[in-house]
Amino acid sequence: MSRKASPSSSPSFVADSMLGDVARWLRLLGFDCLYNSSLHDDQLLEIAWSQCRVLLTRDKDLHRRALARGAVSILVNSTDITQALKQISEELQILLLFDERRSRCPSCNAPLKMVSREEVAGRVPEGILSRYSKFWVCTNPKCGKVYWIGSHWRTIRRVLSNLNT
Ligand SMILES: [Zn+2]
């Protein structure tokens, strides 16, 4: 039986242990991407197939096994993050854009919630609190990380602008 996922504007993913950076980026861009470096090949295949997730892997053999099983799989070639994201966006024909309402926690994959400066007072350094106005909190109580548009934002903008040209 084949369960090839139909093209969707918002596919979900499972990434192999080599692709932690790709997973963090996809989460930031609002995609549900499972990543756990302790998952072995059989578990990755099972998750991709049973949950209709796109498997992202650097392993040719795993890629072939996924396709043979009827899962959707992308063999990520480049180690450059922009090229890797570009390949995913082209193969699935999806746009990778940052939407601050859709972002997920790069660290744990839970949705992020936009919060006011007051709500994160005491949870981020004073300097950050006074300098920035947009904050997000991870909705997973076990994680709870706070994010803001800081200096790393320039890198994100640069990668995204290279991506969609
Ligand atoms: Zn989190």
Tell me the CA–centroid distance for residue 139 and ligand 1, in Å: 7
Nearest Cα to Cα of residue 66 among 10, 16, 12 = 16
Tell me the CA–centroid distance for residue 143 and ligand 1, in Å: 4
* The residue count for the chain: 165
Distance of alpha carbon 64 from alpha carbon 75, whole angstroms: 9
Distance of alpha carbon 34 from alpha carbon 81, whole angstroms: 18
pLDDT (tens digit, 9 = 90+) per residue, 59-99?
999 999 999 999 999 999 999 999 999 999 999 999 898 88
Query: Residue 20: pLDDT above 90?
Result: yes
Tell me the CA–centroid distance for residue 165 and ligand 1, in Å: 30
Please answer whether residues 74 and 91 qualify as being in contact, where contact means their C-beta atoms are separated by less than 8 angstroms.
Answer: yes
Tell me the CA–centroid distance for residue 104 and ligand 1, in Å: 8
**Helical H segments across 51-125, by residue range:** 60-68, 81-92, 117-120
Nearest Cα to Cα of residue 90 among 14, 12, 163, 143 = 163
Strands 73-75 and 112-115: unpaired
Tell me the CA–centroid distance for residue 3 and ligand 1, in Å: 30
pTM: 0.89
pLDDT (tens digit, 9 = 90+) per residue, 127-143?
999 999 889 999 999 99
Query: Residue 16: pLDDT above 50?
Result: yes
Going by the DSSP 8-state scheme, the letter that residue 110 receives in this structure is P
